[in-house]
Amino acid sequence: MTDPRKARGLKRSRTTALLLMGTAPLLFTACQRDAPVQVQEGLYTSVESCAQAVGDTATCRIAFEQAKLQAADTAPQYSSRAACEAEFPAEQCVEQKTSTGHSFIGPLMAGFFLSQMMSGNRAGLAQQSPQAAPAFRDNRQGWLRPNGAPGAGRAGMAPVSATPDRAVTTNRGGFGRSASGRSTGG
C-alpha cells in the first residue's frame, strides 16, 4: 500500500506542473518584444518647410493649427513688454489673451514641433495622429517649448537643441526595451 502523504504530494506536483504548463504561453507572450515604434519628430518654422521634410502637407497643417491653438495658453507670460524683451526679440513681444481671457505680454509662436508615431503593419508605416506644440525663439537664438508646467517667464519652458525644418526619426523599442536613436532634445 502507498503512503497517503506521498500520494497527496504527487497530486500537488502534478497539479502544479499542469498549472505552470497552462500559464507558460502567457508568460512567453508577455516577454516577447513588440516591434519597435518609430517616432518622427521635428521643429518647423512653417507649414511649407514641414511638408517638404515630412512629405505630408495635411499633417503639417493640422499640427500647425494645434500648436497655434496652444500658443497663448503655453507662452511665457510677462507683466510688461520690457520684461518680455529682456528674453525674446522685441518684435515678438505682444499683448495676448489665453483661452480663459487672461491678458499678458508674451512672445509670438515662431514655429511648431511635430511628433508622429509610426508603427509597422501590412501596409507599411502607418501614421497615427500627430502631436504638436508651439515653439518660441529667444534672444540667444535658441528654441524653447512648453514643458507642461505653465509659469511666468521662462520657468514654463524647456530649451531644445533641435535643428529647425528637419525631421528626425527615432526608434523606440517595444516591451522591455529602452529607447534608442537620435533625439531632438526637449
Helix (H) or strand (E) holding 66: helix 57-74
Model confidence pLDDT, tens digit, residues 41-52? 899 999 999 999
pLDDT of residue 12: 60
How does residue 165 score in pLDDT terms, banded at 50, 70 and 90?
Answer: confident
Which cell numbers hold the place of 157? Answer: 519652458
Q: What percent of the chain has pLDDT over 90?
A: 41
* Residue of higher predicted confidence among 3 and 102: 102
pLDDT of residue 185: 45
pLDDT of residue 39: 66
pLDDT of residue 124: 40
* Residue of higher predicted confidence among 141 and 74: 74
Model confidence pLDDT, tens digit, residues 4-37? 666 555 556 665 555 555 655 555 555 555 555 5
pLDDT of residue 182: 43
Asked if 38 and 170 touch (Cβ cutoff 8 Å), the reply is yes
pLDDT of residue 135: 94
Q: Which residues of 34-69 are buried (b: 16+ CB within 10 A; e: fewer)?
A: eebbbbbbbbbeebebbbebbebeebbebbbebbee
How does residue 161 score in pLDDT terms, banded at 50, 70 and 90?
Answer: confident
Phi then psi dihedrals of residue 148, to 5 deg: 90, -5
Model confidence pLDDT, tens digit, residues 100-148? 999 999 999 999 999 877 655 444 444 566 789 999 999 988 999 998 7
pLDDT of residue 1: 58
Q: Which residues contact 79 (CB under 8 A, 6 or more apart)?
A: 104, 105
- Cβ–Cβ contacts within 10 Å for residue 70, how many? 17
Q: For the chain, where are the E strands, in sequence order?
A: 37-44, 93-97, 103-107, 111-121, 124-127, 131-137, 143-146, 157-160, 166-172, 179-180
Please provide the size of the chain in residues. 186
